[in-house]
Amino acid sequence: MPGMEVFGAEERKEVMDVLETGALFRYGHEDLRKGMWKAREFEAEVRKFTGARFAHAVSSGSTAVASMMAAAGIGHGHEVIVPPFTFVAPVEGVFLGGALPLFGEIDETLCLSPEGIEKVITPNTKAVLLVHMCGAAADLEGILKVCEKHDLVLLEDCGQAMGAFYKGKSVGLFGRAGAFSFDYFKIATCGEGGVTISDDREIYDKMDQVSDHGHTHIGDNRGMEDHHFMGFNYRINEFSAAIGLAQMRKLPDVVRVNKKNKKHLKDRLKEVEDITFRYLTDEEGDSATFLNFFFPSRQIARKAFDQFGKDQVGGITYWYTNMYHYINQWDHIKKMSYPAPLSIHALGAPQDYHQLELSRSEDVMSRMASIGIRCTWKEDELENFADKLVKSIKKVM
């Protein structure tokens, strides 16, 4: 991912600001910080880039999801529709928030489909936790219609999708709230960090309080602030926020170069017959962090990945066998394994996780290859990679 590729003087400058003041905590200590509030500045850059009314920085994408779910009232016993293709974190968030995951189908968008959502809705379904996978938006128009029809709360996990838009509007602003990850492997990184966004003041205020033990952050005496409800420690620190601040300022250029490099690779792959590509609901709004394409069959996909190994063509992921991103490897999820009792252990699962019918997802995932786009490729590096990639694929097609 580009975030870690573009570390430089800008990140060092912002971190040194924090070191020079010694104000590592994001709240208070005005006497130390010399007017520098890195978390606030980071949030302002996120608001500027996404167009969100409100943004709140937290310690990770996972705590962003947890804050968003709690603020939206999603918890004990609520059924929440989730995708089988995602980093496992949002599914864990549903379990740990006391809710019950319902797995719906994805399609060639690589995200939950409107039909996949509609198929698994029950009278107890409360929300859809939509994950915008691999840097591009889901079919938001269709999904919003389903949510409105069934009165479902839409929450957006945009962990991999900072920089993605749908018809001119940032992902994360279509549901009640959106959650972004800024971990080390994202298009913009804090090392570890996350951000929630929303246009809803009430949701924002609740996310702000939930992420800091219920503090309202009103007034100048932290020890005497009101607390209307419980929260937990999901706070970001000033070091992480400082890095995120510098990274957000670089993001427009990163996306621009990503798009150029992705287009070049995609054009080269079009030289191979029977290769098809991920369906983009808004090609202009793609952050271009991944180029995803499909082989005509599972068998050919497996042969192709064997060939990539022989030809030493790196940087290509077969998510179908990835331990942390696709449900066929999630035995711990299917067994609902956790060191302590969860709500689902008392209430029961809404599906038999060992016998899920996900034929569309299986077909999509078993045929897909995913290339991480680098914004630091030199022209000759990109061309050499494209040559090796196309040559290797042609051997098995």
Query: Is 177 strand, coil or helix?
Result: strand
Rounded to 5 degrees, φ, ψ at 186 are -95, 170
Single out the residue of 171, 40, 325, 124 nearest to residue 317, CA to CA. 325
Annotated active-site residue 186? The verdict is: yes
Residue type (1 letter), 378: K
> CA 310 → CA 136, 184, 387, 389, distances in Å?
31, 29, 15, 12
Contacts of 213 (CB under 8 A, 6+ apart): 227, 230, 231, 232, 233
Contact 291, 315 (CB under 8 A): no
Q: How far apart are CA 263 and CA 314, in angstroms?
A: 19
Q: Are strands 194-198 and 54-58 parallel, antiparallel or unpaired?
A: antiparallel
Q: Which of 38, 186, 206, 259 is catalytic?
A: 186
Contact 64, 232 (CB under 8 A): no
Q: Return the residue matching tokens 């600001």.
A: 17
Q: How far apart are CA 277 and CA 90, in angstroms?
A: 26
> CA 269 → CA 109, 131, 266, distances in Å?
19, 27, 5
> CA 74 → CA 28, 80, 125, 176, 216, distances in Å?
31, 8, 11, 11, 21
Single out the residue of 315, 289, 328 nearest to residue 159, CA to CA. 289
Q: Return the residue matching tokens 């939509």.
A: 130
Contact 153, 72 (CB under 8 A): yes
Encoded tokens for 295: 């082989």
Q: Phi/psi zone of residue 295: left (φ > 0), alpha (ψ -120 to 50 degrees), beta?
A: beta
Q: How far apart are CA 280 and CA 262, in angstroms?
A: 13
Compute the Cα dihedral for 22, 25, 26, 29 and give only its sign.
negative
Active site residues: 186
